[in-house]
């Protein structure tokens, strides 16, 4: 029996909160699934929807955006900008055939290394049963 393919998830974390949470998870030896590939941006407000489209177009099984909790943004309201874009973008990628489970926005503060583990574990567990992404041609034939 062939081994199940592990989902690859692009994680885009903000410099001030979620990236530090990932750092804390590391120094605290908190274990979480090795399915995420982390890219650090200065703010979740920097996450251009083009990044997300590019990731899914290149075959990512999921995209996880991590930012500061509402009210805690280092730049006052970058995370709100991210939230607004996320609301519309998740509808658009869904229309394009990406299941809800594959695209998430989570607020994780610098002290929440444990929450990072919970979120990543949960996301991987929900994506794995969906199986690998398929192209339109593969689905139709």
**Interacting residues with other proteins (CB under 8 A):** 48-50, 52-54, 56-57, 70, 77, 80-81, 83-85, 87-89, 91-93, 95-98, 133-137, 139-140
Closest CB to other proteins among residues 13, 56: 56
Closest CA to 111 of 33, 25, 41: 25
**Nearest distance from residue 131's CB to other proteins, in Å?**
11
Output the CA torsion sign for 49, 53, 55, 61: positive
Pairing verdict, β 36-41 and 9-14: parallel
Closest CB to other proteins among residues 27, 140: 140
**Nearest distance from residue 132's CB to other proteins, in Å?**
10
Closest CA to 79 of 130, 17, 24, 6: 17
Output the CA torsion sign for 4, 133, 38, 114: negative
Closest CB to other proteins among residues 11, 93: 93
**Nearest distance from residue 68's CB to other proteins, in Å?**
13
**Nearest distance from residue 53's CB to other proteins, in Å?**
4
């Amino acid at each position: 029996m062939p081994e199940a393919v592990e989902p690859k998830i692009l994680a885009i974390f903000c410099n001030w909160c979620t990236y530090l949470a990932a750092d804390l998870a590391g120094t605290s030896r908190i274990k979480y699934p090795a399915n995420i590939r982390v890219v650090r941006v200065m703010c979740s407000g920097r996450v251009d929807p083009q990044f997300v489209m590019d990731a899914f177009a290149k075959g990512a099984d999921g995209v996880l955006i991590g930012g500061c909790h509402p009210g805690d943004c280092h730049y006052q309201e970058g995370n709100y900008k991210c939230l607004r874009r996320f609301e519309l973008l998740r509808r658009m990628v869904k229309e394009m055939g990406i299941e809800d489970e594959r695209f998430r926005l989570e607020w994780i503060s610098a002290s929440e290394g444990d929450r990072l583990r919970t979120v990543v574990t949960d996301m991987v567990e929900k994506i794995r049963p969906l199986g690998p992404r398929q192209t339109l041609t593969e689905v139709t034939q």
